[in-house]
Amino acid sequence: MDVYCTTCGEPWDHFHLWQDAIHETGLSDQDIEAWLKLPSNGRLTPYYRSAFTSAGYTFGKTMMNVTRCPACPPEATPDADKLQAKQLIEDMLGDDHDGIVATFNDHRL
Ligand SMILES: [Zn+2]
Q: Residue 3 belongs to what H/E stretch?
A: strand 2-4
Mean pLDDT of the chain: 96
Distance (angstroms) between ligand 1 centre and the Cα of 92 equals: 24
Distance (angstroms) between ligand 1 centre and the Cα of 10 equals: 5
pLDDT per position as a tens digit, 62-75:
999 999 999 999 99
Distance between CA atoms of 52 and 39, rounded to whole angstroms?
A: 17
Average pLDDT over residues 90-94: 95
Distance (angstroms) between ligand 1 centre and the Cα of 31 equals: 25
Q: Could you tell me how many residues make up the chain?
A: 109
Distance (angstroms) between ligand 1 centre and the Cα of 67 equals: 7
Distance (angstroms) between ligand 1 centre and the Cα of 73 equals: 7
Distance between CA atoms of 26 and 13, rounded to whole angstroms?
A: 20
Distance between CA atoms of 74 and 51, rounded to whole angstroms?
A: 18
pLDDT per position as a tens digit, 27-65:
999 999 999 999 988 999 999 999 999 999 999 999 999
Alpha helices, DSSP H only, in 1-109? Answer: 14-15, 29-36, 46-54, 80-93, 97-106
CB 83 within 8 A of CB 67: yes
Distance (angstroms) between ligand 1 centre and the Cα of 42 equals: 23
**Residue 40 has what pLDDT?**
85
Write down the pTM of the prediction: 0.93
Alpha-carbon distances of 33 from 22, 61, 67, 95, rounded to whole Å? 10, 22, 25, 22
